[in-house]
A and B are shown apart, each in its own frame.
Chain A
């Protein structure tokens, strides 16, 4: 049964970031459509990320319906607990 995606998923990444790749591969593998915001080469990378999640100094940064959930380890933990697909799909 194909489930309809009800949540918007965004992911801030940079090139050459293996944890960004791991997150992207998980989203792709689960069939979760997502917007990739590539911060490579952006000198305001720190400000962009901190504006979304104050104090966060890392990529990737994943948002679901505009709410930051954290980085790759948070995304993987959410999936391991069965909560990621539960939240994203109808």
Chain B
């Protein structure tokens, strides 16, 4: 069995790395598990223009590299590993990992973030990697000079649509409502781009091409008129937002109806003393990199105070 850590951080987005920086500087000798998508959602984001301190913007992956470097500078021990099981029933808390480690810790900071939301269609699952993608950065090139569709109406969807126009011949944005959720500036960029067509009140009912082994089109519904129609396309990108990665904690912590971890008011404290949650796994309202970093800082400070009070 391993030694008992002072602080274990699960997750490696802006919340996790900020928690690590503060915890390390408070001499909590934090250990951080990077998780299944190291760096989190920002690693599939091209330009981050709204994080303060970067007047020319910064590429998401580069930003996360810088966060990791800063956490490591203060001697955070960073493992390319994922928590697969937790036992929070008693202290020290026990965390099992994908690579077979058992970690014991006095405080746990949960910063597991959120993962891309899918449509939940059987055809979508069968055609993943074969024309269905949740990562425009990774897979956009495969659709050079092709027609693609993108589902979503927020900032990420608009950003990915604009990015995809660098590769695809045409990008159709399939938006469920008749307005975007996105910020005004992103909407303006979409409307100004001649390669983007916005289809309002449109939902995907089926992804076509399962028999062919690759996406050939979509069966769509206009949710205002009820019309069902087929549309040819070569690719489908999902940019519908994210669901929090909180399955590990379903039995031990309180989750709200949308699976976000519940924390005390003005705090990152969960119902288990010594366990704190920060970033997009507990924030259903703001879900920004800067607010995630802010709650990461709070979690580390609260962990430090918890350890002092219990020593």
Spell out A's residues near B (CB within 8 Å). 14, 16-22, 25-26, 28-30, 45-46, 49, 54-59, 70-71, 73, 76, 79-80
**Are B37 and A22 in contact, CB atoms less than 8 angstroms apart?**
yes
Residues of B contacting A56 with CB < 8 Å?
A: 129-130
Q: B37, B131, B133: which contacts A18 (Cβ < 8 A)? A: B37
CA distance in complex: A18, B36 (Å): 9
User: 3 tightest CB-CB pairs across the interface, nearest first?
Assistant: A18-B43, A25-B80, A55-B214
**Are A76 and B214 in contact, CB atoms less than 8 angstroms apart?**
no
CA distance in complex: A76, B235 (Å): 24
The interface size of chain B toward A, counting residues with CB under 8 Å, comes to: 32
**Are B141 and A46 in contact, CB atoms less than 8 angstroms apart?**
yes
**Are A59 and B128 in contact, CB atoms less than 8 angstroms apart?**
no
Q: Which of B139-188 contact A (CB under 8 A)?
A: 139, 141-144
Q: Which of B224-241 contact A (CB under 8 A)?
A: 235
Give the Cβ gap from B25 to chain A, nearest Cβ, in Å. 26
Q: A26, A58, A73: which contacts B138 (Cβ < 8 A)? A: A58
CA distance in complex: A14, B167 (Å): 16
CA distance in complex: A79, B135 (Å): 22
Encode B5-41 as 1/0 by CB contact (under 8 A) with A: 0000000000000000000000000000010111100
CA distance in complex: A29, B79 (Å): 9
**Are A19 and B135 in contact, CB atoms less than 8 angstroms apart?**
yes
A-B contact pairs, 6 of them (CB 8 A): A16-B43, A18-B44, A18-B137, A18-B138, A45-B142, A80-B98
Known contacts A21-B38, A45-B142; A58 and B61 CB within 8 A of each other: no
**Are A58 and B80 in contact, CB atoms less than 8 angstroms apart?**
no
Residues of A contacting B79 with CB < 8 Å?
A: 29
B99 at the interface (CB under 8 A from A): yes
**Are B214 and A57 in contact, CB atoms less than 8 angstroms apart?**
yes
**Are A70 and B129 in contact, CB atoms less than 8 angstroms apart?**
yes
**Are A57 and B98 in contact, CB atoms less than 8 angstroms apart?**
no
Q: A25, A57, A73: which contacts B131 (Cβ < 8 A)? A: A57
B254 at the interface (CB under 8 A from A): no
B273 at the interface (CB under 8 A from A): no
**Are B61 and A16 in contact, CB atoms less than 8 angstroms apart?**
yes
CA distance in complex: A57, B168 (Å): 14
CA distance in complex: A29, B139 (Å): 25
CA distance in complex: A87, B192 (Å): 52
Q: Which of B103-157 contact A (CB under 8 A)?
A: 128-131, 133, 135, 137-139, 141-144
B213 at the interface (CB under 8 A from A): yes
Give the Cβ gap from B77 to chain A, nearest Cβ, in Å. 14
CA distance in complex: A44, B22 (Å): 45
**Are A17 and B135 in contact, CB atoms less than 8 angstroms apart?**
yes
Residues of A contacting B128 with CB < 8 Å?
A: 58, 71, 73
CA distance in complex: A73, B134 (Å): 12
Interface centre among B34, B36, B81 (most CB of A within 10 A): B36
For B41, the closest partner residue in chain A by CB is: A18
Residues of B contacting A26 with CB < 8 Å?
A: 80, 98
**Are A58 and B139 in contact, CB atoms less than 8 angstroms apart?**
yes
**Are B34 and A25 in contact, CB atoms less than 8 angstroms apart?**
yes
Give the Cβ gap from B251 to chain A, nearest Cβ, in Å. 19
B56 at the interface (CB under 8 A from A): no
Residues of A contacting B38 with CB < 8 Å?
A: 18, 21-22, 25
Give the Cβ gap from A75 to chain B, nearest Cβ, in Å. 11
